[in-house]
Structure 1
Amino acid sequence: MRIRILQGDITTRPVDAIVNAANSTLLGGGGVDGAIHRAAGPELLAACQELRATDLPHGLPVGAAVATPGFRLAARWVIHTVGPNRHAGQTNRALLVSCFSESLRVADSVAAGSVAFPAVGGGVYGWGGRQVAEAAFDAVNGFTASHPDNGLELVEFVLFSRELEDAFNAEWERPR
């Protein structure tokens, strides 16, 4: 599995799946979530409303992940995950790692060969760039070890700022 770290717009990435740093309602919001909903078109909101009406009447739990089609995006799939909100007292690092692990599991289940992640839990949810990067790489390493025959060939971390890109690069280069 190749890892790529870059600054950019996740909604334009030519990958099989992009990960949405969603809120538990799945009905759109600000930041990456809002950008993905705008780029995917109203069909994404309709698909999320259908999930809420059927499989997820109480919303998507923190650390879980679920897929919808990508609709107007270059990506075939959007994988929604809800990061823990440090400002709301959700400080359990395992939940942050689970966002990445569960998203990788869902990507594999929809036969995605490539997936792009934002800094899930960063930004308004209060996790620092290094904390998010460490959780992300722990999840990738754990997923690769437990699913050696997975079909994922490329994992991208598409970050909206130079500061986050630097944090991810520093964490990736850190000896383990």
Structure 2
Amino acid sequence: MQTQADEPTLEVVLGNIVQMDFDAIVNAANSSLLGGDGVDGAIHKAAGPDLVHECLLLGGCKTGEVKVSKGYNLKAKHIIHTVGPVWQDGNRGEEKLLAQCYAKSVRAANELGAKSIGFPAISTGRYRFPLDKAAKTAVKTIRAELAAAPSSLTRVVFVCFDQAANDAFTRAVEHH
């Protein structure tokens, strides 16, 4: 377990999370956990049909919560599914719910004993969460979670699918 003194640094990479080698990856899932658009669909497609079968048994997931499955055909051993909030106007608890997604994903990774975790930009695609605000929330939340308790994590990476997300998360890591 890590202590606060050797807390992992946060990394930002441009790439496809399903091709990355982490102990756990986070899936920006919908509440059914049965696949969808964006990163969710890509993870389900790459993991293979066994993922849908396991997700059926998980019984869905509420916004701000997490459920864990095996990684199946992915390089990742585990998938931490989390349902981010749909952005409405910023006055309906969206930021708090997004922070819960990141915090609970870190806790789940620690419970799994994961040393490395890859995060997508949760809620910033179809759910329309403003990218800069999402990046700041993610970085602030993960740093607080890592500082709060010993962690098995030695590598925490934001895997950004496009340059705009990469730029927003890089700014957030450097300035927050």
TM-score of the two chains, using structure 2 as the length reference: 0.91
Question: How many aligned residue pairs are there?
Answer: 168
Letter in 2 for 1:4: E
Letter in 1 for 2:168: A
Offset of 1:141 from its aligned partner?
1.4
Equivalent position of 2:41 in the other structure: 34
- Aligned ranges for residues 20-99 of structure 1 at < 5 Å? 20-52=27-59, 59-87=60-88, 90-99=92-101
Contact 1:63 1:96 (8 Å CA) reproduced:
yes
> Which portions of structure 1, spanning 4 or more consecutive aligned residues, are displaced by more than 3 angstroms?
87-91
| Percent of residue pairs bearing the same amino acid type | 39
The two structures, once aligned, show a CA RMSD in angstroms of 1.4
Equivalent position of 1:14 in the other structure: 21
Contact 1:10 1:116 (8 Å CA) reproduced:
yes
Measure, in 1, the Cα distance between the counterparts of 2:97 and 2:173.
Answer: 20
Give deviations 1:24-79, integer Å, cap 9, x for gaps: 11010010000000000001000000111xxxxxx311111111000000000000
Give deviations 1:73-116, integer Å, cap 9, x for gaps: 00000000000001498552110111100000001101110000
Equivalent position of 1:55 in the other structure: none
Equivalent position of 2:4 in the other structure: none
Equivalent position of 2:112 in the other structure: 110
Offset of 1:160 from its aligned partner?
0.8
Equivalent position of 1:168 in the other structure: 169
Letter in 1 for 2:62: P
SS of 1:124's partner is coil
Contact 1:85 1:91 (8 Å CA) reproduced:
no
Equivalent position of 2:156 in the other structure: 155
SS of 2:126's partner is helix
Measure, in 1, the Cα distance between the counterparts of 2:112 and 2:134.
Answer: 25
Measure, in 2, the Cα distance between the counterparts of 1:138 and 1:65.
Answer: 19
> Which 5+ residue runs of structure 1 have no aligned equivalent?
53-58
Offset of 1:2 from its aligned partner?
2.5
Contact 2:14 2:166 (8 Å CA) reproduced:
yes
TM-score of the two chains, using structure 1 as the length reference: 0.91
Contact 2:27 2:43 (8 Å CA) reproduced:
yes
